[in-house]
Amino acid sequence: MSEEQLRRIMGFYGDDIWNYIYYLTKSADMADDLAQEVFIKCYYRIGTYRGSSSLKAWLFTIARNTVFSHRKSRFFRSGLWGGVQTITKAEPAKNSFPDELLGTVRSAEMEYLGNSRMDEIWSVILQLPDKFREVLVLDLKAELTIQEIAGLTGLSTGTVKSRLHRARHKVQEKLRGMES
């Protein structure tokens, strides 16, 4: 793999990998470090990629294993694992159209309310137990299929479906509780 190919892979999947690691670790600094480690591993291990899954799923597998390996390390056991940090709004997708081109423009109030609601939802997701949070993030943020999530986590597709259903239900319950 050339450096240019790695840069293209990082440009295409970098945000998804970083977000996944962030939602597993709840630390922006840790996500920065571990995402970098994932792409270093990708560079050196691309020869082991067999093509039995998508490149995205393969990268998520590396990311997951990297996070879990890090959690087992002495650093994690010493209690220095970081707390929740705020997420900065990502750049708009390169292939998405600005609202102005579609003939709709959101008012500042609508933009604020939409962002505020999204922050509430992700705050609730971050409070879920790991097993529910992981599958929900892989589904919502990474947009992996149930089969890809099952392959990545080593769970059966039925278990993935069940956890997704339960995770969504828990989020809905907490959001309803916040509204009353």
Q: What CATH number is associated with residue 74?
A: 1.10.1740.10
How sure is the predictor about 125, in pLDDT bands with cuts at 50, 70 and 90? confident
Of 102, 167, 116, 159, nearest to 141 by C-alpha is 167
Letter string b/e over residues 26-54, b meaning 16 or more CB atoms within 10 A of that residue's CB: bbbebbeebbebbbebbeeeeeeeeeebe
Query: How does the average pLDDT of the chain come out, rounded?
Result: 76
Residues 128 and 49 grouped into a single domain: no
Are 73 and 111 part of one and the same domain?
no
Whether residue 69 sits in one domain with residue 30? yes
Instruction: Identify the pLDDT of residue 161.
Output: 94
More confident residue, 161 or 82: 161
The 10s digit of each residue's pLDDT in 80-112 is 334 433 333 344 444 444 444 344 445 555 555
What's the rounded mean pLDDT across residues 18-45?
88
Task: Indicate if the pLDDT at residue 76 is higher than 60.
Answer: no
Residue 97 lies in a domain: no
Q: What is the total count of domains within the chain? A: 2
- 102 inside domain: no
46: tokens are: 């691309």
Is residue 73 predicted with pLDDT exceeding 70?
Answer: no
Q: Are residues 112 and 161 in the same domain?
A: yes
The region that residue 107 occupies, defined by phi over 0 for left and psi between -120 and 50 for alpha, beta otherwise, is beta
Q: How confident is the model at residue 113 (pLDDT cuts 50, 70, 90)?
A: low
Which of 96 and 22 is assigned the larger pLDDT? Answer: 22
pLDDT at 159 over 60: yes
| CB 15 within 8 Å of CB 60 | no
The pLDDT of 131-150, averaged and rounded, is 86
Same domain, 63 and 21: yes
Domain that residue 28 falls in = 1-85
| Amino acid symbol at 180 | S
Query: In the predicted model, what is the mean pLDDT of residues 134-156?
Result: 86
**Four-point Cα dihedral 161, 162, 168, 173, nearest 10:** 170
Could you tell me the pLDDT band of residue 116, with boundaries at 50, 70 and 90? low
Instruction: Inform me whether the pLDDT recorded for 114 exceeds 60.
Output: no
